[in-house]
Amino acid sequence: MKKILITGATGQIGSELTIALRENYGSANVVAVGHKKPASSELTQFGPYCQLDVRDAIALHQLVEENNCDTIFHLAALLSAVAEEKPQQAWDINMNGLINVLEISRLHHCAVFFPSSIAAFGPGAPAMDTPQDTVQRPTSLYGITKVSGELLCDYYYHRFAVDTRGLRYPGLVSSKALPGGGTTDYAVDIFYAAIKTRHYDCFLHADTQLDMMYMPDAINAAIKLMTADSQRLRHRNAFNVTAMSFTPQQLAAEIQKHISEFTISYSIDPVRQAIADSWPKHMNDSAARAEWDWQAEYNLAAMVEDMLAKIAAKCGNK
Ligand code: AKB
């Protein structure tokens, strides 16, 4: 990776991955792309930033050509809950954005990173120890775009030799950018509530178990996969990766070890609950471990400790 373009750079993964890539590959060599003006100057101050819509194939093409990019991290997408509100728009952004990136990569010989998700599985897949290769019949629109994206990336690899690689991320917990419109967002919101009001009203049931990962591990996984020896990759796209698996009740209990007065209540959002109930509780990520030595650093306790310190500092509550 010498010259990198990253779409969705203002999003939850993008805002941290851009910084990490700039640290590793040089600020001038990472072109950040977002559909809006970034909330903080961090993305624009230290390297190139371009505002464009990933559905604009001509503008995207021009940018890749002008910058002579050899790698694209394509993160721009609508997440699960918002995709249920706007299914047509989600299909348009998630699928047309991806095919634009793949076409440009075919023409310019770029490698492509595509983040899939636990959402690529549906109720027919085993919820525990979900295998790398199993039935994928997702019931959410977001999940349908993710499984279609996995297949499209496989197609571009087999048909046109585009070096596509991807991960099935679990819910991601991060201290920087807020997630927007996801089903696993509760696992971030809860920290702000714990710091600010000592109470959180959760939109998922107390015992809804889902796979999760702390953002430093998610960033590390993306870079590690993109720099892995291609000879070892049997799966390439859509590797299951996980770090921990917990319920809202278990997360709240871990937070209470640090903030004893913290309380949690539950007001269920039926749309997000139905989505969560259709997803794996715990994926098997042995293929990622075997093919590119994937290993998470953060477990629940380490993640909670770090998140509380970072969110407290962010909220001026040091
Ligand atoms: C979402 O909740 O939509 C995402 C995901 C699990 O892909 N965080």
The whole-number mean pLDDT for each consecutive block of 10 residues of the chain, a chain of 318 residues, reads: 95 95 96 89 88 97 97 97 97 98 98 98 97 97 98 98 98 90 96 97 98 98 97 94 98 98 98 97 98 98 98 84
pLDDT of residue 1: 84
Closest ligand 1 atom to Cα of 12: 8
78 within ligand 1 shell (Cβ under 6 A): no
145 within ligand 1 shell (Cβ under 6 A): no
Closest ligand 1 atom to Cα of 185: 2
CATH number for the segment(s) 4-170+215-240: 3.40.50.720
Among protein residues, the one whose CA lies closest to atom 5 of ligand 1: 171
pLDDT of residue 21: 97
Give rounded-to-5 percent helix, strand, coil for the chain. Answer: 45, 15, 35
Q: Where are the domains of the chain?
A: 4-170+215-240, 172-211+243-314
Among protein residues, the one whose CA lies closest to atom 8 of ligand 1: 171
Q: How far is the CA of 297 from the centre of ligand 1 (A)?
A: 21
> How far lies 135's CA from each of 120, 147, 154, in Å?
10, 11, 17
117 within ligand 1 shell (Cβ under 6 A): yes
pLDDT of residue 316: 85
pLDDT of residue 46: 85
Helices (H) and strands (E) in the chain, counts: 13, 14
Q: How do beta strands 210-214 and 244-246 pair?
A: antiparallel
Q: At what angle do helices 248-256 and 300-314 cross, to 10 degrees?
A: 70
Among protein residues, the one whose CA lies closest to atom 6 of ligand 1: 171
- Give the CATH superfamily of 172-211+243-314: UDP-galactose 4-epimerase, domain 1 (3.90.25.10)
pLDDT of residue 40: 78
Among protein residues, the one whose CA lies closest to atom 7 of ligand 1: 117
Residue located via tokens 């889902």:
210
171 within ligand 1 shell (Cβ under 6 A): yes
